[in-house]
Structure formats: structure tokens, C-alpha cells
Structure 1
Amino acid sequence: MFEELLQAPALASWLGLLAGLLAVYLLYSSWTFQDKQKHPPGPRRLPLIGNLHQLDLQRLDKSIFNLSKRYGPVFTVYFGLKKVVVLAGSKTVRQALINHAEEFGERETSPLFHDLTKGHGIVFSNGDGWKEMRRFTLMTLRDFGMGKRLSEEKITEECHYLIEEFEKHEGKAFDNTTIITYAVSNIISAILFGKRFDFKDPVLRYMVEHDKEIIRLVASVSLLIYNVFPKLGPWLKNWRDLTKNVEDFKQHLLHIINKQRDTFNPDICRCFVDAFCTRKLSLEESDAQRVHYHDENLTNSMMDLFGAGTDTSANTLRWSLLLMAKYPQIQDRVQEELSRVVGDRQITMEDRRNLPYIDAVIHETQRFANIAPTSIPHSTSRDVTFQGYFIGKGTTVLPLLTSVLFDESEWETPNTFNPSHFLDEEGKFIRRDAFLPFSAGRRACIGEGLARMELFLFFTHLLQCFRFTPAPGMSEDQLDLTPSVGFTLCPLPHQLCAVSRY
């Protein structure tokens, strides 16, 4: 009998049987483990591609939002072989990012962003390096007046330059994209480089164009697929173009940094670069933090700040003007409130408390525009049980901001532009917990205070001076609010008339 078992056909049969039994055992063990550790539900996935066949990569946030309506506020999708846990809805996202800030506070670094940053900078870093860079950056932004009078003066000055550019068009239709982007980028440039740039300055134009191209490439479908199958990188033109653009931008920044170093005086802090050099000098060789003060952290941090400080605020401002042209009755109320409360004098941040309708319009613009619909993915720092589900350490987590800003249980008319979302029955401004355009928790936008000030001052100065209307021959109904999809959501190319009110 034993010798018969050793014969090839019989041996193969026995080995096949053993393999089958082992497979059944492992499958049973897996079920048993999942019963003990309840994992978030989700759609059935296919080998290799996961759930990619169920997702629209050009409007990923909408695809995932639709899935949340079936699978609940905590569910799993697979991008290829990568497991991603989605958090949907205002209560769930807030609970995770605020009440469990430590567990959900790591940044998931995709293959693409690892290629670009190597874990340096602020946005795509973790650990002690991230803590030190974020702490230093917050301190530096505050020293340069973020949310204070000094920032207000710089923004107000930039408003006047922007108004002059609008006036040059003499009420004729034009695309305001570039000029708004230059004006907004000058605010963060004043902090980073200690100066504003003329709108024709090739340095400013170079940085804005490179930043725009990087954002466009990062959001391309081919690079979303690259994150799933990173070995494809060298064969993807967009990957090659992106890495070259980022490297060129870094070299450009290094050139500016070296010029700043040539005139560096530790007793006079002119900008972010000076603050970085001063901080490095203040640390002893033995200080653990000193290891983080090197050129890679400096250039990546400056790229993070320039990109975040330009794209989101500029696009939100563009949305606000488009919405005013689209809804003239709302623009009427904005300008009536401005005329009644401020008149012809210069607007200040102190005026915001007395301009509740305008404050509501700006907040509703941020909600409705939904600039960063999927946020930037997080990662769990340790095993966590959340809403009854087990989520293992190192799991990629996607806080779906679309599901917060358009949560039907939080907003009366989520799919409509409605400033009343932020007004009580007496017309006073009210804050809403579900208003999270800057995200929340440990990874909330570092420049939120500066961005809020920019949006208020730019918007009110422009609406004080101009009435915004569609281009001749176009009605309000023809203005398209469909977003142009990229890393952020911005308006489609369009032209508006800025007609002087005086």
C-alpha cells in the first residue's frame, strides 16, 4: 500500500487532495479571523484590478460617494491590490479625524508622491520629520502675520494691483484665471521669498506655470493607474514629464534659496528661507531636530506651501466670481450689504463680523466648489477599531470630503448654491460642523487662517469695485458650473465681464 502511494499518479492525487484540504483550512481560518476582527464591507473585487472597473477615475469622488450610499459610512475598496478604507459622511469623517486624530493622522505616501518627495516636506511626510517641519512652518507663518494685521496689509495691497488689472479690460469679457492666480500666489510668495512679484515677472510666471502643470499631471488617469502598478512608470510619458517638472521646479527654488543665503543676516528675518537658516543655526549639532534642516526639506516644504497657497485659494476665488455672475440676485445682496456697511472706504477684516451675508456667500462658495473632493489619503498609525470595524496599522484611509460638504443629513439643499446654509432666521452668520473644506485634525490645512483672510479681502474688494456678468451674448443660465477635474476641482475655462460700479 505504501509503495503504491509513492507511485507518481497516486502521489499526485494525494498531493492534490492535501493541497485542497490546506486551501479549505486557510479559507476557514480567514473566515474565522474576519469573524473575530470585523472588517469594513465593500464591493466584491476582481483579481489584480480590485474595484477599478467600478470607479470613474475622472470623477473618483462621485464614484466613491455613490458606493457609500450602498455600503455605509465606513467601507473598503481596492485600487488594484491596494486596500483603501473610505470614510464617508460628516459625522464619520469628523469622528475619525478629530476624535481619533492620532490613529488616523499619518499620511499615506503613494508611489507617485514618494518618487517626487522622498518623504520630505510637509504634506507627504510622516514621523519626526513631519512634526518638526509642520511645527516650524506654523511658527514661521505666524511670525509673518498669518491671520494678523501684517498679512491683511499685504493682501489689501495685492487687491489694489488685481483691481488695476481688471480695470484694464474696461468692462469687456476676459478670462480671469491667470491674473487671479498671480495675485493669490503673491501672498504666499511674500512669505516664502520676502517680496511680491510684478505680474509680468518671469520668475512668478515660471513658478505658476510649473505648479499648474504639476497639478494637471498628478491628476491624470495614467498616473492614478501608475499608483496601482508603479512598475509602469518609465513607460508613461506623464510620469516622465511630471518628474522633470518637479525637478526643474526644485532647481529653480534652489537658485532663489542660494541667492537669499548670499545676503543672509541672522539678525534680520526677511522670509521663510531666512527663518529656516536661522532655525538651523540655533540648533546644536547634538540636537535631534537639526537633522531635518537640509535642502530637500526646504525645497519640498516651499513647493508644498506655494502649491497649496496658490491653487486652492485662486480657484475658490474664481468660483466665487463665476457664481456671482450666475446668480445676479445673490450678487445684488452682496453689493447692497457692502454699500450699506462699508460704503466707499477701504474694507478691513474687522468688517467681516458686520457682513454676515457676505461671510455666508464665501463659506457656501467653499462648500459648493468642493475644491479638494477626496482630500489627500491618510494612513492608520496603529490598529484601530472604528465604528465596530477593525482597521489594521498602515491601512490607506480616504476621508471623502465630498460626502461631508454634500451630506444630505447636514445640508438642507446640498446640491444647490445656497448661502442660507450659513444664516439663521435672523440673518446672522452661523458656523456648521459639516463645513470642512480645509479637512480637520492633525492633517488640516496649515494655511487655513491665511486662506480665509485672502478669500474675504479679495472677494469683497472686487465686489466693491465691479459688477460681474456673463460675456455678451451669453445668459446666466448658460454659465456652466461643471468643474474641470484635476487634483483639485476648478471652473471650466470661461470669460466674465467686470463692469465698474463707479
Structure 2
Amino acid sequence: MGSHIGGDELAVSNPTRAAQEISQTIFSLDLGGISTVILNGYDAIKECLYHQSEVFADRPSLPLFQKMTKMGGLLNCKYGSGWIEHRKLALNSFRYFGNGEKMFQRISEECMFFCDAIDMHKGKPFNPKHLVTNAVSNVTNLIIFGQRFTYDDRDFQHMIEIFSENVELAASAWAFLYNAFPWLEYLPFGKHQRLFRNATKVYDFLLQIIERFTQGRVQYSPRHYIDAYLDEMEQIANDKAASFSRENLIFSVGELIIAGTETTTNTLRWAMLYLALYPSIQEKVHREIDSVLNGRAPTMEDKQRMPYVEAVLHEVLRFCNIVPLGIFRATSQDAVVRGYTIPRGTMVITNLYSVHFDEKYWREPAVFCPERFLDNNGNFVRRDAFVPFSVGRRHCLGEQLARMEMFLFFTTLFQRFHLQFPQGSVPSLRSKLGMTLQPLPYSICAIRRQR
């Protein structure tokens, strides 16, 4: 398969235009000996991930992830019975522990803790990253551990910081070099060594915390994901082919914390930044929230009555491309796409940036415009070429929970506060590159609204 790439300077100086140039192509390249195919544009990604979902459901056997998780756990697990077992358990846990009135109440309580912590800054400038990260991670913690952690729990906060750093390091040049030349492991320097040290720290911490939260466990009466996992382990204790193990439990817990924290956290941080940048959009959000809620706390039933809030959240997800290249996949068998043969085991990168900035589906895609998700009557409209949670068998298993979190945190935040930048200070809109795109650190003022 020949490459359709051209113009490296174009990609660096104008990534939006570059994405448009290659928006309908499928091309291959060699990443240090790793055969790779990049899918661009909604049509190509849908054809592969949706219509051939099983074929494109594998994970590449990258040396980095072999070293860190032995291709076990949940997110990096190779396609097969082990992945099916782990995903089924995770989905059931999210449905059982992550839905219902009780979970809604606990998320609403977390929203209050979050806003109360913001209120302590008394309208003065602060960096929201720490508070947003802690609040969002606590929702996932409720499913995994059955309880939240306070915002001053130093051990847990340190672990979250390490997770965040590893998300950046895993997409660094050193990580790509390590995948191409695994012998770099023997060099005493390089960011990959920090990545490995961090992974060891997290593994040890998770081992301790899992032991803590399994105290008082009653078999087959699970209180949270960890209990449910141990029940599965004991049920198949004599099955040597089963994939449930203590080690895979630790890997799975770590992956669920990262996946449940990074994307939603960065979505909310971008939302805060852009609404402070565009006061007219923020004012429309305030008006809709006030008219629907009339001072009471939001419920999930209100979601259908807030089309503009929904439009803003969707535009943030589209425009900011939180996971621009998705999570790398691999073909589980030979595939044929548009006349090209993609061999089994080929790494597949889905360029979601090319989908969300494709002029075939989006008018003026480089403009931040929530109205693109509204019809002429102001009703919310779903768009096909909107895939921030990916599609196919490996699509985000926590999508429903993430959508609930984003709506409740966003609505509660803007019901109580007006956001603005410190006088004379407008932050950079450039993103910090990693496996996810997060805004560069910024300060913001949250002014208590008078209603």
C-alpha cells in the first residue's frame, strides 16, 4: 500500500489544513519497523471499525506495552477470549455500579464537593486542573473501589499525577524510539526509564489499595468492581486458560482509572477555557440553565431540555479532539479496505482529527461553533461524523457514564459560577501533546453568580 502523505511542513504549521488535505485517504508507513496504517476521514474509519469491527479489534504488540502490562489487563489486552472476559466484566460493573438513582446522587454530591472547593478561591485566580481531575476520578473510584477520595488525600493524588505524566510520556519521542529499538531499555537514561519507574510505583500502590478495599468482602455479594473481579477469579480458579488473575486485576484497575479520568477531565478543562474565552456563549449557557433549573440541582431528565448545553459539550469534544488518534488498534486477521490488503497484525491508527475537521461533514470546522449541533428551531441534532468515543468493538465502554458526568459537572459549575480570565491574561489555546490533548496550564477566576 502506497503512502499518500506529503508536506511535512504543512502538517506542522497548519494541522487543520493538513487534516483536510488527507481527510479521505488511507496510507501506510513504517514506524521504526512497525508496519502501520493510518485511517483518515469518517467514511474510512466507519468502514473499518464499524463494518469490520472484529477484524480491527486487536491491539498492536508494542514493546512498550508488553513491558508495562504484558498485553494483559483490559485496554491493552489482545483480542480474544481474555479481552472478551474482561470487557464483559467491566461493562457489567459499569451498568451495575455506575447506573441508577444511587449513582446519580453520588455524582451530584461530587459536583457539590467540586463547586464548594472552587468557591474556596473566592473569585481569585486558580489553576482548575487539580480540582477537576480529583472530582472526575472520584466518579470512577465509586465503581472501582466503592468510595471517593478526598481532594487532600496525598497518596491518591500522587498516583493520579503519575498517571497523568505517563499518558504524556507514552506518546513521547522516547516511547516511539523504545518501540522501534527495545534494547534502549538497557540505557540508564531517557524518558522511557521514568515511564517504567512510574509504572512500578503505580503497580505497588494499586496492590496496596486493592488489598485495603477487599477487606470485609463477602463472596458473590460484590460492593464494587474489585469484589466482582475476585468473584470471577474464584469461579474459574481451576481453569488454566482463564485470563482473570491478580496481576490482570491490577492492570485493569489502573487502566480504568486512567480511561475514566483523562478524557472527561480534559473535556471539562477545555470547556471552562473556551467559555471564559467566549462570554457570549457562556451567557447563553447561563440563560438556559437558569430557565430550566430555576435554582434547583440538575437531573438527567433536564438533559433533553438543555439543547444548547448539549451543543456546547459536543462542540468541545469535536473541536478539542481529546483523543486525536484514538487508542492504537491492530488487525486480528488479513483485511481488505478499498482494494488495499492490510495484513494481520498491522498497527492501525484512527485519525479522529480528520473526522472532526472534515469539510465534507462540517461547515467551517476550524471555527468553534456550538450552533452546528442545533437545527433551525434550536433543537439538538446528532451528527454522524462525531466519534470522540470511537466506534466498533473497542469503543469506549464508559461512554454513558462519561456523558452523565460531563453534563452534571458542567451544568452544576455554570449554574453557580461565571468564569473569566484574570485581568490582562488570556491563556494559550495550544494543547499539550500526549495520548490525550489537554490544555496548557492556565488560571481562571470563578465568580459566584447572583441569581
Matched, 1:425 2:425: no
Query: Which residue in 2 is equivalent to 1:486?
Result: 434
Cα deviation, 1:103-136, whole Å, max 9, x if unaligned, reads 1111113111111110111111112111110111
- Mapped contact 1:138–1:446 kept (Cα < 8 A): yes
Please say which of residues 155-164 and 68-77 is displaced more in the overlay: 68-77
Alpha-carbon offset, residue 441 of structure 1 = 0.4
What is the correspondence of 1:337-352 to structure 2 with a 5 Å cutoff?
A: 337-352=288-303
Matched, 1:149 2:101: yes
Indicate how the Cα distance of structure 1 residues 400 and 258 shifts in structure 2: closer, same or farther if over 3 A, else same: same
Indicate how the Cα distance of structure 1 residues 355 and 348 shifts in structure 2: closer, same or farther if over 3 A, else same: same
- Mapped contact 2:432–2:438 kept (Cα < 8 A): yes
| Rounded Cα–Cα distance in structure 2 between residues aligned with 1:89 and 1:136 | 32
Query: Which residue in 2 is equivalent to 1:219?
Result: 171
> Higher helix fraction: Structure 1 or Structure 2?
1
Indicate how the Cα distance of structure 1 residues 56 and 198 shifts in structure 2: closer, same or farther if over 3 A, else same: farther
Give the alignment partner of residue 497 of structure 1, picking from 425, 440, 445.
445
| Rounded Cα–Cα distance in structure 2 between residues aligned with 1:70 and 1:106 | 25
Matched, 1:245 2:193: no
Indicate how the Cα distance of structure 1 residues 135 and 55 shifts in structure 2: closer, same or farther if over 3 A, else same: farther
Matched, 1:333 2:284: yes
Cα deviation, 1:424-464, whole Å, max 9, x if unaligned, reads 11110011111100111011111111111000000000000
- Mapped contact 1:381–1:394 kept (Cα < 8 A): yes
Letter in 1 for 2:235: S
Give the alignment partner of residue 281 of structure 1, picking from 234, 237, 254.
234
Cα deviation, 1:388-413, whole Å, max 9, x if unaligned, reads 11111111111111111111111112
| Rounded Cα–Cα distance in structure 1 between residues aligned with 2:52 and 2:35 | 20
| Rounded Cα–Cα distance in structure 2 between residues aligned with 1:212 and 1:294 | 26
Query: Which residue in 2 is equivalent to 1:101?
Result: 53
| Rounded Cα–Cα distance in structure 1 between residues aligned with 2:320 and 2:280 | 19
Q: Unaligned regions of 5+ residues in structure 2, if any?
A: none
Alpha-carbon offset, residue 271 of structure 1 = 1.4
| Rounded Cα–Cα distance in structure 2 between residues aligned with 1:428 and 1:326 | 24
Letter in 2 for 1:137: A
Letter in 1 for 2:446: A
SS of the aligned residue for 1:339 comes to: helix
Query: Which residue in 2 is equivalent to 1:160?
Result: 112
Query: Which residue in 2 is equivalent to 1:110?
Result: 62
Give the alignment partner of residue 271 of structure 2, picking from 303, 320, 342.
320
Cα deviation, 1:4-43, whole Å, max 9, x if unaligned, reads xxxxxxxxxxxxxxxxxxxxxxxxxxxxxxxxxxx34445
Please say which of residues 69-78 and 487-496 is displaced more in the overlay: 69-78
Alpha-carbon offset, residue 480 of structure 1 = 2.3
Please say which of residues 203-212 and 84-93 is displaced more in the overlay: 203-212
SS of the aligned residue for 2:324 comes to: coil
Alpha-carbon RMSD: 2.2
Runs of at least 4 residues of structure 1 off by over 6 A? Answer: none
| Rounded Cα–Cα distance in structure 2 between residues aligned with 1:240 and 1:467 | 43
Cα deviation, 1:314-333, whole Å, max 9, x if unaligned, reads 11101001111000000010
SS of the aligned residue for 1:359 comes to: helix
SS of the aligned residue for 2:375 comes to: coil
Alpha-carbon offset, residue 201 of structure 1 = 1.1
SS of the aligned residue for 1:160 comes to: helix
What is the correspondence of 1:395-434 to structure 2 with a 5 Å cutoff?
A: 395-434=346-385
Aligned residues: 448
Query: Which residue in 2 is equivalent to 1:265?
Result: 218
Letter in 2 for 1:285: N
| Rounded Cα–Cα distance in structure 2 between residues aligned with 1:55 and 1:222 | 22
Identity within the alignment, %: 37
Alpha-carbon offset, residue 281 of structure 1 = 2.6
- Mapped contact 1:40–1:389 kept (Cα < 8 A): no
What is the correspondence of 1:174-213 to structure 2 with a 5 Å cutoff?
A: 174-213=126-165
Q: Unaligned regions of 5+ residues in structure 1, if any?
A: 1-38, 45-52
Matched, 1:172 2:124: yes
Letter in 2 for 1:487: M
Indicate how the Cα distance of structure 1 residues 78 and 72 shifts in structure 2: closer, same or farther if over 3 A, else same: farther
| Rounded Cα–Cα distance in structure 1 between residues aligned with 2:158 and 2:431 | 25
Query: Which residue in 1 is equivalent to 2:397?
Result: 446
- Mapped contact 1:42–1:71 kept (Cα < 8 A): no
- Mapped contact 1:68–1:88 kept (Cα < 8 A): no
Query: Which residue in 2 is equivalent to 1:90?
Result: 42
SS of the aligned residue for 1:169 comes to: coil
Letter in 2 for 1:83: S
- Mapped contact 1:40–1:85 kept (Cα < 8 A): no
Cα deviation, 1:268-324, whole Å, max 9, x if unaligned, reads 322111111122233362485xx2121111001001100011111111101001111
Alpha-carbon offset, residue 228 of structure 1 = 2.0
Alpha-carbon offset, residue 72 of structure 1 = 4.7
- Mapped contact 1:43–1:77 kept (Cα < 8 A): no
SS of the aligned residue for 2:376 comes to: coil
Indicate how the Cα distance of structure 1 residues 338 and 68 shifts in structure 2: closer, same or farther if over 3 A, else same: closer
TM-score normalised over the length of structure 1: 0.85
Indicate how the Cα distance of structure 1 residues 497 and 43 shifts in structure 2: closer, same or farther if over 3 A, else same: closer
- Mapped contact 1:222–1:238 kept (Cα < 8 A): yes
| Rounded Cα–Cα distance in structure 1 between residues aligned with 2:64 and 2:13 | 17
Higher relative contact order (CA 8 A, sep 6+): 2
Alpha-carbon offset, residue 56 of structure 1 = 10
Cα deviation, 1:235-268, whole Å, max 9, x if unaligned, reads 2421111111111111111111222334211253
Letter in 2 for 1:378: R
TM-score normalised over the length of structure 2: 0.94
